[in-house]
Each structure stands twice: as C-alpha cells, then as structure tokens.
Amino acid sequence: MLVVGGGFAGMSALPVLARSDARVTLVDRNVYSTFQPLLYQVATAGLTSSDVAYPLWSATGRRGARFRKAEIVGLDLSRRVAMLDTGEEISYDYLIIATGVSAAFFGVTGAAEHSLSLYTRRDAITLRNQLMDALETRNEGLTDPELDVTIVGGGATGVELAGTLAEMRNVALPAVFPQVDRSMFRVRLIEMGPVLLAPYHDQLRRYTRQQLIDRGVEVLLNTAIKEVRPGSVLLADESEHRSDITVWAAGVAGPDAGWTSGLPRGKGGRIQVNADLQVTGQDRVFATGDVAICEHEPIAQLAQPAIQEGRHAAEQVVRRLTGQPTRPFHYHDKGTMATIGRRSAVVELRGGLRLRGTIAWFAWLGLHLVYLLGNRNRVVTLVNLAWRYLTWSRGGGVIVGDDVPEKR
C-alpha cells in the first residue's frame, strides 16, 4: 500500500490502513507534515516555522507505516510502480494520492515570477524574510520609507494575512521598528469578485470587510489584476499601483502534468475521482484531499474534508481487500471558520449557527490547537500566540531573525 503526501489526507489514511495486514509506505518530499492553516502566522513572524511542522518519521511509525522522504516523479500505472526522485521505485497494490495543491496564477502575466505564495513552510519563511528585511531597511533609513504590500485573493488566506499584517503595523511596529513611518506602510487586499470570504453568509462577509477596513486595510472588490510587475501591480483598468511585496492567494492548481499525466484531470488540473474517491478510470488508485476533485459533488478544499476523505479512501482500500464493494464518500460538514485579527473571526456552523468577534476568535484558536499535530507544537503555538496577542504593543509578538528557506 502506498500513500503519497503526508498532509491532512495522507496522515488520516494511515490508522485505517494499519487495520489491514498490508505493508504501508508513506512518501513525502519533506520530513515533516505542514499545518497550512497557521502559515500566515509564520509569514507575519508570530510563530516560528517549526511550530507548524511535525516529524513524519515518528508520526508514520506510530501509525504502523514506514516512511520514505522523496518526491514522486513518475507513475507506471500498468506495472503499479511509483518512481521517486531518489531513483528508487516502489510497487504498490493500492495507491492513495494526497499531494495537495499549489498556487494557480490563471495566466496572469508576471504573477508566478513576481509574487509570493503561501502553501509551504518555505513559502512562509520567504515571505517573512522579505517582510522583515523591508521593515529593517526602512527602520535604518537605508531605503525609500514607503512600503506597499498587496494581497491578491479575498478568501480565508488573503483575509487572515491582510488582517494580521495591518494589526502588526498598527500595534507592534512602534516597539519593534520605531523608525518606520506607519502611515507609509500600506496593506491592500484585492478581490476579483464582489465579496470577501465568498462561501460564508453575507452577514459574516460584510463583518469581515468592515473589520479589515477598521484595521486600515485598503479593500478593493470587483478588481482584476492584469499583470504583476517587479514593484507594482497593474489592474484591469490599466491603473498601476506600487507593490513592494505581492502575495498571491487567489486560487489553487493540481500537480504539474509530469508524474500524473496518465490520470484524468478536472477543474484547476486536480485529479478527477468518482464518488468513492477512486480515480476515474483507475482500478487501484485513489485520490484524496485538495488534489482530488469529484465534479458531481464538489467539496471545499479545507482540512476537515481532507481528513474525512483520507479516512474514506483508506476504508475503501480495506473493503476491496476483503472483497467488498466500495462506498460513496459523504462529507459531514462541521462548519468553517476564518480569523481576521485579534479577537475577530467568523464561524459558520452546520445548522446555520453563525458566530463572530471574540467568541469566534477563541473558537478558531481552540480548534487550530486541537488539529495541530504534536503536543510540543500545541504548547509552543499556544505560548507564541498568547505572547503575540498579549504583548503586541510592547513588540513581544514579532519573532525577529533570519530563517533560511529550504530547497523546496
């Protein structure tokens, strides 16, 4: 049994597969599993990069699987063999693909070259380093005092990043970088559609927009980006806006053709699956989590769906091994949440219950701590976030110092 990808989906498949007698191997290109929902805190210097990473060697061992650190680079579906970048080949009886997604630039000129994404630990470190460098050089008077940060995409990532950056500027900056002129540090959030947080109830969307505006974020709705240039963004109406740092948080794409070229693709290049999560047209290959798309029943690309899909795919493999037919996947929606800043979040629960403000923020904090893998990460994250929000104005909430990004 081979599982590729040690994120929410891949990791939740392991305990189920452990119930069978089969030998299970998990392959991931990193030696750790990344907790993406808190990457924006790493990018804004509230958490260290190790707080959101959990070692896969020990985590897979405890779940009865062995681990290979490698990138999958090829698949021979007829021989049932996966090729790794280490040159090794791994054969499988059943394969579960759980490799997540990356940024989709929708063909916007310069977007891939001149903007930063936020999908990996490396992305978060790169963004944090650019941000800290920009603030440091302005603090020392070494460069033009103006600093414009543009975030493209008004989904949860864009909202969380814009809100936290604005709060950092408003509250923490005077203590950490006293020479930086706050009035010259601008945070802009650009969304092509008419609303922020489109999947949420209109009341929560309006609350989110107002909270961002209150924090001094310039929110541009119904605004398309035509081009990202070094140092600026060009909008569809041909107006050009200075942008020292541009973050692209506006869409997701499946894996590059390469190793998945033999598999059917749906919207955004994600892998097309049937209702039971088996890859369409394939007998022994399942795809789960963000990378999978079932066009009959689209499911949000969030942690809970990925966890439930990972478990379901593994259960179907076990059913097949015991001669039973597979079952369709049904998502049990437990609700969604997004945070805007300190004591400000939105929560939408099943049954229409909606929360916002402080209570929603504590719910967001609690849930993220529960879902983080590893007790050390939970304790350290709780301490770092508590420290951040209790000591913002004294500069305590900004972790300074360089972190060198890894190769990938």
Ligand X SMILES: Cc1cc2nc3c(=O)[nH]c(=O)nc-3n(C[C@H](O)[C@H](O)[C@H](O)COP(=O)(O)OP(=O)(O)OC[C@H]3O[C@@H](n4cnc5c(N)ncnc54)[C@H](O)[C@@H]3O)c2cc1C
Cα 322 to Cα 303, 308, 317, 340, distances in angstroms:
29, 21, 9, 47
The answer to whether 13 and 314 have CB atoms below 8 angstroms apart is: yes
Tokens of 99: 């490799």
DSSP 23-88: --EEEESSSEEE-GGGHHHHHTTSS-GGGGEEEHHHHHHHTT-EEEE--EEEEETTTTEEEETTS-
| Residues with Cβ within 8 Å of residue 39, at least 6 apart in sequence | 52, 118, 119, 120, 121, 123, 124
CB of 188 to ligand X, least distance (A): 18
**Smaller CB distance to ligand X: residue 177 or 207?**
207
**Smaller CB distance to ligand X: residue 84 or 228?**
84
**Smaller CB distance to ligand X: residue 181 or 295?**
295
**Smaller CB distance to ligand X: residue 176 or 346?**
346
CB of 348 to ligand X, least distance (A): 12
Tokens of 146: 């103006």
**Smaller CB distance to ligand X: residue 40 or 207?**
40
**Smaller CB distance to ligand X: residue 117 or 173?**
117
Write out the residues near ligand X by the rule CB under 6 A: 4-10, 27-30, 33-34, 36-37, 39-40, 71-72, 98-100, 118-119, 156-157, 289-291, 301-304, 306
Q: Say which residue the tokens 């190790």 belong to.
A: 50
Tokens of 403: 């972190």
CB of 108 to ligand X, least distance (A): 19
Tokens of 154: 């008004």
CB of 255 to ligand X, least distance (A): 6
**Smaller CB distance to ligand X: residue 173 or 292?**
292
Q: How many CB atoms lie within 10 A of CB 81?
A: 15
CB of 305 to ligand X, least distance (A): 7
**Smaller CB distance to ligand X: residue 197 or 303?**
303
Q: Say which residue the tokens 């203590």 belong to.
A: 175
CB of 119 to ligand X, least distance (A): 5
The answer to whether 44 and 167 have CB atoms below 8 angstroms apart is: no
**Smaller CB distance to ligand X: residue 251 or 264?**
251
**Smaller CB distance to ligand X: residue 122 or 138?**
122
Structural Rg of the chain based on CA atoms: 22
CB of 249 to ligand X, least distance (A): 7
- Indicate if the alpha-carbon torsion angle 159, 291, 375, 50 is positive or negative: negative
Chain center to CA of 296: 24
Cα 28 to Cα 7, 25, 33, 186, distances in angstroms:
9, 10, 8, 38
CB of 48 to ligand X, least distance (A): 16
First to last CA, the chain: 26
CB of 113 to ligand X, least distance (A): 20
CB of 304 to ligand X, least distance (A): 6
- Residue 229's Cβ-count burial label (10 Å; 0-12, 13-18, 19+) is middle
Amino acid at 47: L
Q: How far apart are CA 187 and CA 196, in angstroms?
A: 16
